[in-house]
């Protein structure tokens, strides 16, 4: 997806952990912006971390998509005005009220394709 759209990370984790995980996975170069909730006024479920990621990517949040696995993350991305694709965390699944706010629920990252994201977000706008 990084070849098609600019990618960012909007995380509740601290900056050091974000950078470590992206480096170890070998994907750090795919992300044009990373934001830790430590860098904004309010953490998730407030939209601040998503709004800051969109700002750093120079993207209108209403034209952006968020991929989320957590209850507060889904709420934060939706509050930022983004299209939300949820991939529920199997160990700490989001509550049904958060999943209802997602524009789509996808089974896994393998099921998340650019076509799925485009079709979902086109319908939600």
Res 83: pLDDT: 97
The structure tokens listed for 76 are 């934060």
Report the CATH number at residue 118: 3.40.50.1000
Q: Which residue has the tokens 């034209």?
A: 63
Distances from the Cα of 55 to the Cαs of 88, 96, 109, in angstroms?
A: 26, 30, 25
The yes-or-no verdict on residue 121 having pLDDT over 90 is yes
For CA atoms 91, 95, 98, 102, the dihedral sign is positive
Q: Which domain holds residue 119?
A: 7-124
Q: Which two tokens stand for residue 44?
A: 């998730």
In a domain, residue 2? The reply is no
pLDDT in tens, 78-100: 999 999 999 999 899 999 999 99
Taking the CA atoms of 10, 13, 14 and 19 in sequence, report the sign of the dihedral they define. negative
pLDDT tens, 11-62? Answer: 999 999 999 999 999 999 999 999 999 999 999 999 999 999 999 999 999 9
Structural domain count, the chain:
1
């Amino acid at each position: 997806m990084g070849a098609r759209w600019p990618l960012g990370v909007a995380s509740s984790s601290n900056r050091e952990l974000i950078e470590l995980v992206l480096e170890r996975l070998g994907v750090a170069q795919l992300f044009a912006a990373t934001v830790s909730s430590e860098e904004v006024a309010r953490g998730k479920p407030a939209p601040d971390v998503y709004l800051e990621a969109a700002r750093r990517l120079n993207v209108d949040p209403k034209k952006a998509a968020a991929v989320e696995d957590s209850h507060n993350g889904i709420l934060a991305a939706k509050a930022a005005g983004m299209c939300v694709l949820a991939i529920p965390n199997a160990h700490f699944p989001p509550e049904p009220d958060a999943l209802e706010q997602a524009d789509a629920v996808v089974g896994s990252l393998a099921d998340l394709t650019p076509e799925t994201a485009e079709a979902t977000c086109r319908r939600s706008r």
